[in-house]
Amino acid sequence: MADTKREVFLEVKNLRITYETKQGKVKAAENVSFRIHRGEFIGLSGESGCGKTTTALSLMHLLPKEGKVEEGVILFKGENILDYDTKKVEALRWRDISMVFQGAMNALNPVHKAIDQMITALRIHEDVTEQEAKERSLELIKSVGIDPARATSYPHELSGGMKQRLMIALALVCHPSIIIADEPTTALDVMVQAQILDLFNQLRDRTNLSVLLITHDLSVLAETCDRIIIMYAGRIVETGRTDTIFTMPEHPYTKKLISSFPSILVDKEIDFIPGNPPDLINPPSGCRFNPRCDFAVDRCRQEVPPLECENGHCVACWRRHEF
Amino acid sequence: MSDIILEARGIKKWFTVRSGLFSTIFKRTEPTYIRAVDGIDLKVKRGEIFCIAGESGCGKTTIARLIMRLETLTEGELWFDGDKISDMSESEFKKYRTRMQMIFQDPYGSLSNNMTVEDIIAEPLRIHNICRDECEVDERVRSALEDVGLNSPDEFVGRLPHELSGGQRQRVAVAAALVLNPDLLIADEPVSMLDVSMRGQILTLLLELRAKKNISIIIITHNLAVAKQLADRIAIAYLGKIVERGETKQIIDSPMHKYTKALVSVVPVPEIGVERNRILLTGETPNPISIPSGCRFHTRCPFVGDECSQKEPELLKMSDGREVACFKAQVSDAAN
């Protein structure tokens, strides 16, 4: 890991999650392990259905009822969150770990004023007076760049960008140590997205906050994160420092993903990965990327490649050193 | 046959904002309008891929809907292949409708769930009564599927949309648009719902179609990186007007309008360690009900001058051939 001296806040070990469906068991995440240090911004990326949101939801006990953690531990400050009962989880949520959801427009309660929602969240988790809660909320609203005069607005009176800022303010209200942000800018315009990313970068400079940023948009990760985790079909295929991942990716999937990502700075040929992501009810044996991989050999079809680390750059590919 | 397949002259679309019963009865207020498209000229050449880009609320989707006559024009004219289509009756327009087709953003919502792939693609043929018999329908459906890269049609014709992946669905949507052999294809955010690895497939497909059939394509997108890979020319729209237009590479590599500059400067890039001069605008696009006076962008422009709030800049041709609607850019271009 990049900086092992720093305190590990959250550690996920061998997480395996399945969803029960009529067609069979969907193996949504398998053998997922990673750590988040204090003050670190981690990006979790991959395409739809790769298990990134599933992993995030499990951290907060928010999996839908079909979902089940079959195996693994999630250690937060040394305790396994997965063993917590509802009461303990509720105490953890928002206070220690909070979440910013995709599509802020729908995540705020439309019948309550923005500031009231913050005050309520604060007073549920902390023993503070109404006045104190109000002051703290207003301060936060200011810090995310919203005019405090707008605090008493209802969500429909605010624009999409403002609502997303409010969601971030709401997530910060109890001073959590980790924010899980699931596609926080995906529904927003480019300029508003830039404003929100700027806000994240400011938070990084000003506080000790750790962020798990989940998005399919690699360029967003390139601009905000310290480390990146790439998932494919429920497994981690590569992790490493952001610059390593973008300049020297080693897993064929990561390579393809980056080369198919368009950029306005360079004249890239259009690239793509042929085929479709696998069906996770009956995933391919061996490396799950093998049916779409240009370099697959027999071993890739038979044995699952382990995630092996060298200088903090971990890759799950049998042929890592061959090219 | 003219070289210009589609021309828009000063097209406008103003939507009336409905006021409540109470205020209609008791107050005599002027009706308010959302000026979604507010005077736009466009020329799209045969075989050209033309992109209309901008943030939400800039009017890009309304332009597409106006061209397809899914909305009625408030003002202006539309010409298709030398014929004025904006004044035509619906029955006269019907034969033009087969020549322009549209594909939509959401391949999960745009295909009927209970129709097979064959029915979906054959429907436009049946509506327009194009084929002599069912055999010909079948033949054209199969060749359309092959055109979009679904190479074993037998495997796909009987499937329902939920049995297809996102990329395959979008291919079927393209096939349904292509089966009538249109001259113009309008694609509204054709890849924004697709994963990165799938996007390339659809973009390549559109490029191949243009090469093979010399079809003109209008791409509507907010994603400048996609525009750069695909489009020959691009128009940047802001609050219902075009602020800059020209060759895509020219506009994205060296934008002249301050809005384009800001927009290009904040698009996140997947490259590490590139120093970029970011122009972060504050606030958001103003409400199209109350459009700012003068240059529409002056309320957010970091380089605003005195005249900008008073006079509206025209879209003028610069020395390098592009068109820009910005006083400052026009002055500096004249000086060079």
Report how far residue B242's alpha carbon sits from residue B314's, in angstroms, rounded to the nearest whole number: 10
Shortest Cα distance from A142 to chain B (angstroms)?
A: 14
Q: Which residues of A touch B282 (CB under 8 A)?
A: 195
Cβ atoms of A168 and A211 within 8 Å: the answer is no
Go through the domains of chain B in sequence order and give each one's CATH number.
4-99+182-335 (3.40.50.300)
Cβ atoms of A227 and A37 within 8 Å: the answer is no
Rounded mean pLDDT, A281-294: 93
Cross-strand partners of A41: A211
B195 in reach of chain A (CB within 8 A): yes
Cross-strand partners of A182: A214
Cβ atoms of B318 and B333 within 8 Å: the answer is yes
Q: How many CA atoms lie within 13 A of B164 on its CB side?
A: 25
Mutual angle of helices A190-206 and A160-172, in 10-degree steps: 20
A272/B284 touch (CB, cutoff 8 Å), yes or no: no
B197/A257 touch (CB, cutoff 8 Å), yes or no: yes
Q: Mapping DSSP to helix (H, G, I), strand (E, B) and coil, where does residue B189 land?
A: coil
B199/A272 touch (CB, cutoff 8 Å), yes or no: yes
Question: Is A4 a residue whose pLDDT tops 60?
Answer: no
Q: Which residues of A touch B268 (CB under 8 A)?
A: 193-194, 197, 217, 219-220, 222-223
A215 in reach of chain B (CB within 8 A): no
Amino acid at B97: R
Question: Is B21 a residue whose pLDDT tops 80?
Answer: no
Sign of CA dihedral A110, A112, A115, A120: negative
Give the Å distances, CA to CA, from A176 to A39, A130, A131, A201, B236. 12, 20, 21, 17, 41
Question: Is A53 a residue whose pLDDT tops 50?
Answer: yes
pLDDT digits (tens, 9 = 90+) for B294-306: 999 999 999 998 9
Strand pairing report for B32-45 and B4-17: antiparallel
Strand pairing report for B4-17 and B75-80: antiparallel
Place of tokens 């382990």: A306
Report how far residue B210's alpha carbon sits from residue B229's, in angstroms, rounded to the nearest whole number: 14
Report how far residue B294's alpha carbon sits from residue A188's, in angstroms, rounded to the nearest whole number: 27
A246 in reach of chain B (CB within 8 A): yes
Which pLDDT does position A189 carry in this prediction? 84
B199 in reach of chain A (CB within 8 A): yes
A273/B282 touch (CB, cutoff 8 Å), yes or no: no
Give the Å distances, CA to CA, from B276 to B25, B117, B261. 56, 46, 12
B196/A261 touch (CB, cutoff 8 Å), yes or no: yes
Q: Which residues of A touch B273 (CB under 8 A)?
A: 243
Q: Which of these, A183, A233, A202, lies nearest to A43 by C-alpha position?
A: A183
Go through the domains of chain A in sequence order and give each one's CATH number.
39-63+86-96+180-322 (3.40.50.300), 104-175 (no CATH)
Identity of the residue in A223, A242, A268 whose CB atom sits nearest the CB atom of B268: A223
B56 to chain A: nearest residue by CA? Answer: A189
Report how far residue A36's alpha carbon sits from residue A77's, in angstroms, rounded to the nearest whole number: 11
Q: Which residues of B touch A265 (CB under 8 A)?
A: 269, 271, 274
Interface probe, candidates A218, A245, A270, chain B, greatest B C-beta count within 10 A: A270
Q: Which residues of B touch A222 (CB under 8 A)?
A: 268-272
Q: DSSP code of A93?
A: B
Question: Is A182 a residue whose pLDDT tops 60?
Answer: yes
Identify each DSSP E strand in chain A by its residue range: 8-21, 24-37, 41-45, 67-76, 79-80, 97-100, 178-182, 210-214, 227-232, 235-241, 308-310, 313-315
Which pLDDT does position B287 carry in this prediction? 83
Contacts of A248 (CB under 8 A, 6+ apart): A313
- 3-class secondary structure for A157-211? HCCHHHHHHHHHHHHHCCCCCEEEEECCCCCCCHHHHHHHHHHHHHHHHHCCCEE
Global ipTM: 0.84
Identity of the residue in B196, B224, B230 whose CB atom sits nearest the CB atom of A47: B196
Place of tokens 């490396």: A287
Give the Å distances, CA to CA, from B203 to A39, A72, B79. 39, 41, 27
Which pLDDT does position B331 carry in this prediction? 92
Identify each DSSP E strand in B18-144 by its residue range: 32-45, 49-53, 75-80, 83-84, 100-103
Contacts of A10 (CB under 8 A, 6+ apart): A35, A36, A59, A74, A75, A76, A97, A178, A210
Assign residue B20 a region: left if phi > 0, alpha if psi is -120 to 50, beta otherwise?
A: beta
pLDDT digits (tens, 9 = 90+) for A126-175: 889 999 999 999 988 888 888 888 889 898 888 878 888 888 888 888 88
A193/B272 touch (CB, cutoff 8 Å), yes or no: no
Q: Which two tokens stand for residue B118?
A: 């064959």
Report how far residue B251's alpha carbon sits from residue B243's, in angstroms, rounded to the nearest whole number: 11
Q: Which residues of B touch A262 (CB under 8 A)?
A: 199, 223, 225-226, 228-229
Strand pairing report for B323-324 and B241-247: antiparallel
Which pLDDT does position A3 carry in this prediction? 46
Rounded mean pLDDT, A315-322: 92
Identity of the residue in A192, A264, A268 whose CB atom sits nearest the CB atom of B284: A192
Strand pairing report for B100-103 and B184-188: parallel
B198 to chain A: nearest residue by CA? Answer: A272
A266/B268 touch (CB, cutoff 8 Å), yes or no: no
pLDDT digits (tens, 9 = 90+) for B74-115: 999 999 999 999 999 999 998 898 999 999 888 888 898 899
Report how far residue A44's alpha carbon sits from residue B49's, in angstroms, rounded to the nearest whole number: 35
Cβ atoms of A148 and A138 within 8 Å: the answer is yes
Which pLDDT does position A279 carry in this prediction? 87
Q: Which of A182-191, B249-258, B326-335 has the lowest mean pLDDT?
A: A182-191
Q: Which residues of A touch B281 (CB under 8 A)?
A: 191
Question: Is B159 a residue whose pLDDT tops 60?
Answer: yes
Q: Which residues of A touch B203 (CB under 8 A)?
A: 270, 272
Q: DSSP code of B236?
A: E
Q: Which residues of A touch B229 (CB under 8 A)?
A: 262, 268, 270
Report how far residue A113's alpha carbon sits from residue B195's, in angstroms, rounded to the nearest whole number: 36
Q: Which residues of B touch A223 (CB under 8 A)?
A: 268-269
How is the beta sheet containing A41-45 ordered, strand by strand? A97-100, A178-182, A210-214, A41-45, A227-232, A235-241, A313-315, A308-310
Tell me the residues of chain B between 82 and 111 that have a Cβ less than 8 Å away from chain A.
Answer: none
B268/A216 touch (CB, cutoff 8 Å), yes or no: no
Q: Which residues of A touch B165 (CB under 8 A)?
A: 276-277
Tell me the residues of chain A between 160 and 199 that have a Cβ less than 8 Å away from chain B.
Answer: 160-161, 189-195, 197-198
Q: Which of these, B112, B132, B84, lies nearest to B123 by C-alpha position?
A: B112
Q: Which of these, B128, B226, B210, B136, lies nearest to B174 by C-alpha position?
A: B210
Which pLDDT does position B323 carry in this prediction? 96
B197/A272 touch (CB, cutoff 8 Å), yes or no: yes
Number of H helices, E strands in chain B: 12, 12
Place of tokens 């938070």: A203
**How long, in residues, is chain A?**
323
Determine the straight-line distance between the first and last CA of chain B, rounded to whole angstroms: 39
Q: Which residues of A touch B166 (CB under 8 A)?
A: 48
pLDDT digits (tens, 9 = 90+) for A239-263: 999 999 999 999 999 999 999 999 9
Predicted confidence band at A275 (pLDDT cuts at 50, 70, 90)?
confident
- What is the count of residue pairs from A and B with beta carbons less than 8 Å apart? 119
pLDDT digits (tens, 9 = 90+) for A77-135: 889 999 999 899 988 888 899 988 876 667 888 899 989 998 998 898 888 999 999 99
Contacts of B16 (CB under 8 A, 6+ apart): B31, B32, B33
Question: Is B64 a residue whose pLDDT tops 80?
Answer: yes
Predicted confidence band at B139 (pLDDT cuts at 50, 70, 90)?
very high
Q: Which of these, B106, B254, B284, lies nearest to A164 by C-alpha position?
A: B284
Which pLDDT does position A5 carry in this prediction? 53
B289 in reach of chain A (CB within 8 A): no
